[in-house]
Chains A and B, each alone.
Chain A
């Protein structure tokens, strides 16, 4: 397990990407895992930062790599309660006219990672997600 904290700033996305990418590259993780992991990492970090602007404490990211799969835990000690595992009712079959920008982030995560868990207690949220290589899914 490798961990690092990041201040609550969307401009830190490139630093977060590099932190996770370096660990996955070192273990030769397949692209079918890397892409969903980066996507989930960004969407969840941006949500924590954007929807709780008064918060100040850094966000902890823990990365665990085993058997070519990746597990990430994001801990926010200064979080508003927001269950990321809940369906948000995005209608992806709506016509262009009916579609509204926004709301796709959680929808994508829920489809693209293998597991997604949320735990909220006394202002602390812990989000865990994981992805295994596609070839292991069959």
Chain B
């Protein structure tokens, strides 16, 4: 199960498991972002390379207009994935 939606705070809230089978849903939502955005990963349990590819693609697209993604409430396991991927150097990340 994976859910992605816009909270009242304006943050993009992700829940569940972002795997290759769910990447289309994530990509459709992320494609609608056009300004600085905060992704709240507090309830995201898991991400694989399919999800990383969407984050990277979105960050590259936003950076062309001077905007960026910020990712907050990242759990230890997902942060390990970010670190091994070098994402901690190209995203602003806050851990739980």
Contacts and interface: CB of A to CB of B under 8 A. Distances in A.
Is B one of A's binding partners? Answer: yes
Interface of A: 10-11, 13-14, 17, 31, 35, 38-39, 42-43, 46, 91-97, 99, 101-105, 107-108, 111-112
Contact of A99 (B54, B60, B80, B84): B60
Contact of B89 (A13, A46, A93, A102): A93
Interface in B1-35: 1, 17, 19-21
Interface of B: 1, 17, 19-21, 46, 48-50, 52-54, 56-57, 59-60, 63, 77, 80-81, 84-86, 89-90
A42 B19 contact: yes
Interface of B is mostly: helix
A94 B77 CA distance: 23
A31 B80 CA distance: 13
Given A93-B89, A95-B90, A43 B56 contact: no
Given A14-B21, A99-B56, A99-B60, A92 B81 contact: no
A104 B49 contact: yes
Contacts of A13: 19-21
Contacts of B60: 96-97, 99, 101
A17 B21 CA distance: 12
A92 B85 contact: yes
Contact of A35 (B46, B52, B53, B63): B46
Given A11-B21, A108-B81, A96 B48 contact: no
A99 B90 contact: yes
Contacts of B49: 43, 102-105, 108
Given A11-B21, A17-B19, 18 more contacts: A14-B1, A14-B17, A35-B77, A38-B46, A42-B19, A43-B49, A46-B20, A46-B48, A46-B50, A92-B86, A96-B63, A96-B90, A101-B54, A101-B56, A102-B49, A105-B48, A107-B84, A111-B84
